[in-house]
Every structure is written in structure tokens, then in C-alpha cells.
Amino acid sequence: MKKSILLLTYFLSITLISAQEPISKIRKEPAELARTRTDHMKARLNLSEEQSEKIFKLNLNQIKVEQQENAIRRERLIKHEFDIKSVLDSVQLKRFEELRSKQKGNRANKRGTRSRMPLQPATEPIDDQK
């Protein structure tokens, strides 16, 4: 009975996830992300227009691959968590949920404290012909 309920919960969560708006609707579109990355590189590396377009295509392909891999990873994590929950008794399950909530809170706190180095444009042209 317990496994049936967990199995039902698992399939409902998959259904809800697939019914949500795609990540690209929540975040920037892949082309927008690729353009931003390319513009940063263009500013820092003094890229020509031809180089910039080639790098844009490379960035766009990479972003699409990353998004697909992230979706697969999320599905695997959901299945893994479901499998773990199906083994635990009710007391263990409650403790597991508490630990998960605490971990998620810790991750959110760590993300807020990260800082990035400021992006600096190139000050002089890069000469490849040395």
C-alpha cells in the first residue's frame, strides 16, 4: 500500500513538472543567453563580426545541450528520491524530508553569498599573428 501511494506521488510529480512552463519561458531563451555570452566575449577579446557569429552558434549549441542535460538530471534526481522514500518507514521519511528542507535552505543561502569578478573589456587588441 505504501509503495502504491509513493508510486502515485511520483507519477503525479512528473505530471506536474511536465505541465509547468518550460524553463526557457521562466529564464532567458537560449538565443538570448548565447547572445549575452557572445557579447561578453566580443568585448573582452575584441572579436570580429565573423568570429562573433561563429562563437554565437557555438554558445547556442552548448546552451541547448546544457539545458537538455539539466532536464535529464532533474528527472533522475526525482526518481532517485522516490526510490529512497519507498524504502523508508514513516519516521525515517519524516526525518528525510526535514533534512532535505534544511539542505535546500543551506544551498539557497550559499548562492546568495557568491560574488563574481567584474567583467572587463579588452584594453588592447589581441594580435594572433605574433
Question: 41-58, pLDDT tens digit by residue?
Answer: 999 999 999 999 999 999
Per the model's pLDDT, the better-predicted residue between 110 and 62 turns out to be 62
**pLDDT at residue 99, as a whole number:** 92
65 close to 82: Cβ distance less than 8 angstroms: no
Q: Which long-range contacts (CB under 8 A, 24 or more apart) does 34-39 make?
A: 34/59, 34/60, 34/62, 34/63, 37/63
Q: Where are the domains of the chain?
A: 2-103
Interior CA angle at 107 toward 95 and 24, to 5°? 115
**pLDDT at residue 84, as a whole number:** 93
Question: 61-76, pLDDT tens digit by residue?
Answer: 999 999 999 999 999 9
* DSSP code of residue 118: P
**How far is the C-alpha of 79 from the C-alpha of 96, rounded, in Å?**
15
- Residue 23 scores a pLDDT above 60: no
**How far is the C-alpha of 33 from the C-alpha of 40, rounded, in Å?**
11
